[in-house]
């Protein structure tokens, strides 16, 4: 007879995966595939390598596929070249890498097996080094260039793709002499290794602080229960967002808040400060060789901003415009600290901001963030969010059997167009933290959208890998209001991917300019501020008849406005650090990267704790390099789109506008310019006025 399952473990399992406990009644992939065939589309799940040998074999397979296609392109004679067998073939390689390598990427970031994570990281680096060399194949470049010189008549998305390929070749140095181009290639391989090391160090380093119950006075009991690791011992992993914020927002001891904040700000510091220095040096040298003034100019050339100067001016104007509000807000928090500590000269420090914002919300706006969690149990919130997206975009979201999860807690869903029954794609959810797992919140692309040569459209498959507060033995996972915003935001990326209709993989899903990629997700965060939307799912898990009172939501919005200057100055701090680290004109100008980060923070936001280097844990510096400004940039656009919804007769739950957003922006991807997609949705260019209104800043003139 089997040993009985302890009740605490059974409750945890039920809270964690109530929809996945019994798979028998769920639709299967084969059933969904049959439905897809009726509409001329294809659905696919990734094949996850089972062991280290399988990972290496997968990389070998992809490299062989690349080499074969590259050889075919290079062998084309004059008169044989077409769009599809040159530029289209390169786009097919984009799809191949997405569809075959993504499973290895998932294992690197989410496999419960350390050995598998390690080999996945190593093998992906091997592919990246191959990909750099492949991109420098002169024979392939000559074939594509020869095709372009025939000046073919192309459709809009084909013109865009051809231009992007040619710009890509120029940015790789194909207009340079061979010896200089070889230098760029070698440096890019070094950069690939460095960025991989930087990400791995963040993912695998811990920022552990062990505390007592007395030291954690003020932290809610439900959070303490999740942190408890011994008799009067509580272990805080400061690199995990929900643990970090839970302590910073609630711990009454300033010393404890400081200790936890310092742990987070020194996370991976010893390993990553030298790695980041190497990354900045390599990027600067590459930009120099390619003839760009700075790496930031190199990166922004193909973005909406178009140049480093435009970004710098945008951030500078926003920073200066927020200055009076920022100072006023800091003064309010300082008075709260003076009152609590009895010290007339008390100053607000970085580790104080979450705590005194929480105090302000409680005292002035009567908002109890911890009490709000009761309205957002994970499972009903997830299902409620699904219903909202179903309503506005015209969809059905169904859970399915998950035949090959990388972890038992991972669930699988299908998305269907509600009007036609056409399957649109698949997505995985991996929502709670565990050791060795990617420790933030992100969508991971797995299989991209693309029209195949056989006329069948490959629908996308993606994954959300998140770290929401897990359930405990006696209650479900309860999300904070910020968590709910994050959930809506990240699922917005899923919608952006799954609803694509772009013909080419290079334009599909979230393959859009870096300073536009966050916009669709950021506009969808606004649904969480709408009473009518929240009432469709937010209810006290102990009494579902209890909804969030209107005055609480009004107070939430007032509280956000009360500290929005602090929020955006913090964002500008990150954006400026990112920009400044990538605006060196020569390698010899590169200075102490940690010092640069700390000085920017001191001038724009608040002084960091002495001896820390938060840039060492700033993961966006790997692939958002000179691009973090995109969050604020996208906020300007998303505020206008959200205002368009809110001012409509049906408000945020307007299915007509929802479908227009779906078809004119999400479905288009990068098959046309983002500005054209925005005009198609709004009927005009976007305006900065709604954003300035949102943050309580009046604009003297209308900005372009």
| Euclidean distance between CA atoms 638 and 528, whole angstroms | 14
Q: How many helices (H) and strands (E) does the chain have?
A: 27, 11
The three-state secondary structure class of 105 is helix
Q: 264 and 244 in contact (C-beta within 8 Å)?
A: yes
| Euclidean distance between CA atoms 238 and 611, whole angstroms | 17
Q: CA dihedral in degrees (466, 470, 471, 477; nearest 10)?
A: -50
| Euclidean distance between CA atoms 634 and 641, whole angstroms | 11
Q: What are phi and psi of 368, to 5 degrees?
A: -105, 100
Q: 694 and 525 in contact (C-beta within 8 Å)?
A: no
323: CB partners within 8 A, 6+ apart: none
| Euclidean distance between CA atoms 516 and 499, whole angstroms | 17
Taking the CB of residue 523, how many other CB atoms lie within 10 A of it? Answer: 24
625: CB partners within 8 A, 6+ apart: 279, 283, 295, 299, 578, 582
Structure tokens at 2: 């089997």
Taking the CB of residue 75, how many other CB atoms lie within 10 A of it? Answer: 10
| Euclidean distance between CA atoms 154 and 674, whole angstroms | 20
Q: 236 and 260 in contact (C-beta within 8 Å)?
A: yes
Enumerate the active-site residues: 490
Taking the CB of residue 226, how many other CB atoms lie within 10 A of it? Answer: 16
| Euclidean distance between CA atoms 531 and 217, whole angstroms | 33
Indicate the DSSP class of residue 671: S
3-state SS of 308-322 is HHHHHHHHHHHHHHH
Q: 397 and 390 in contact (C-beta within 8 Å)?
A: yes
Taking alpha carbons only, the member of 580, 628, 574, 626 closest to residue 604 is 574
Rounded to 10°, the helix 630-646/564-580 angle is 140
Structure tokens at 262: 């310092």
Q: 380 and 394 in contact (C-beta within 8 Å)?
A: no
């Amino acid at each position: 007879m089997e040993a009985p399952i302890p009740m605490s473990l059974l409750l945890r399992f039920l809270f964690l995966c109530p929809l996945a406990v019994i798979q028998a009644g769920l639709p299967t992939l084969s059933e969904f595939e049959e439905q897809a065939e009726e509409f001329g589309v294809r659905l696919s799940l990734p094949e996850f390598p089972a062991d280290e040998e399988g990972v290496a074999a997968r990389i070998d397979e992809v490299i062989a596929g690349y080499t074969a296609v590259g050889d075919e392109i290079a062998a084309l004679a004059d008169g044989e070249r077409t769009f599809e067998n040159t530029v289209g073939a390169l786009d097919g390689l984009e799809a191949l890498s997405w569809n075959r390598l993504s499973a290895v990427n998932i294992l690197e970031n989410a496999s419960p097996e350390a050995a598998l994570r390690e080999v996945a990281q190593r093998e992906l680096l091997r592919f990246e080094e191959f990909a750099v060399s492949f991109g420098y194949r002169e024979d392939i470049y000559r074939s594509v260039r020869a095709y372009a010189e025939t000046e073919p008549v192309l459709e809009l998305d084909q013109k865009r793709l051809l231009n992007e390929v040619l710009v890509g070749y120029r940015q790789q140095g194909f207009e340079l002499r061979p010896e200089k181009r070889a230098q760029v290639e070698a440096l890019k391989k070094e950069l690939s290794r460095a960025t991989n090391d930087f990400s791995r160090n963040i993912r695998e380093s811990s920022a552990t602080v062990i505390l007592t119950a007395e030291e954690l006075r003020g932290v809610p009991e439900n959070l303490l229960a999740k942190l408890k690791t011994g008799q009067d011992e509580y272990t805080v992993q400061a690199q995990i967002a929900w643990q970090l914020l839970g302590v910073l927002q609630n711990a009454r001891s300033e010393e404890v808040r400081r200790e936890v904040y310092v742990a987070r700000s020194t996370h991976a510091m010893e390993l990553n400060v030298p790695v980041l220095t190497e990354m900045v040096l390599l990027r600067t040298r590459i930009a120099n060789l390619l003839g760009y003034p700075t790496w930031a100019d190199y990166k922004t050339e193909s973005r909406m901003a178009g140049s480093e100067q435009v970004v710098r001016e945008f951030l500078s104007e926003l920073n200066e415009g927020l200055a009076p509000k920022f100072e006023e807000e800091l003064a309010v928090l300082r008075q709260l600290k003076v009152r609590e500590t009895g010290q007339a000269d008390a100053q607000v420090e970085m580790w104080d901001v979450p705590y005194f914002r929480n105090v302000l919300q409680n005292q002035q706006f009567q908002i109890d963030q911890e009490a709000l969690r009761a309205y957002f149990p994970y499972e009903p919130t997830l299902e409620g969010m699904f219903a909202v997206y179903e309503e506005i975009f015209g969809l059905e979201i169904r859970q399915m059997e998950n035949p090959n999860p990388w972890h038992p807690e991972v669930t699988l869903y299908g998305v269907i167009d509600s009007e036609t029954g056409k399957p649109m794609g698949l997505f995985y959810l991996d929502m709670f933290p565990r050791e060795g797992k990617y420790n933030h919140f992100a969508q991971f692309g797995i299989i991209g959208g693309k029209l195949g040569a056989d006329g069948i459209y490959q629908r996308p498959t993606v994954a959300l890998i998140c770290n929401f507060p897990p359930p405990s033995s006696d209650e479900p996972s309860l999300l904070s209001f910020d968590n709910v915003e994050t959930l809506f935001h990240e699922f917005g990326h899923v919608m952006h991917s799954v609803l694509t209709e772009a013909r080419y993989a290079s334009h599909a899903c979230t393959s859009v300019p870096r300073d536009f990629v966050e916009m669709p997700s950021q506009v969808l965060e606004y649904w969480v501020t709408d009473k009518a939307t929240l009432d469709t799912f937010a209810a006290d898990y102990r009494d579902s008849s209890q909804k969030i009172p209107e005055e609480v939501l009004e107070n939430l919005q007032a509280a956000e406005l009360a500290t929005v200057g602090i929020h955006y100055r913090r964002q500008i701090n990150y954006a400026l650090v990112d920009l400044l680290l990538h605006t060196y004109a020569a390698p010899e100008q590169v200075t102490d990267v940690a010092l640069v980060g700390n000085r920017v923070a001191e001038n724009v936001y608040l002084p960091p704790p002495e001896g820390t280097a938060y840039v060492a844990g700033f993961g966006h510096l790997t692939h958002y390099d000179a691009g973090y400004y995109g969050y604020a940039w996208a906020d300007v656009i998303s505020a206008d789109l959200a205002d368009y919804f809110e001012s409509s007769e049906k408000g945020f739950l307007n299915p007509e506008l929802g479908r227009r957003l779906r078809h004119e922006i999400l479905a288009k991807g990068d098959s046309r310019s983002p500005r054209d997609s925005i005009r198609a949705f709004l009927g005009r260019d976007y305006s900065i006025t709604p954003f300035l209104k949102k943050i309580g800043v009046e604009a003297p003139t209308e900005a372009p």
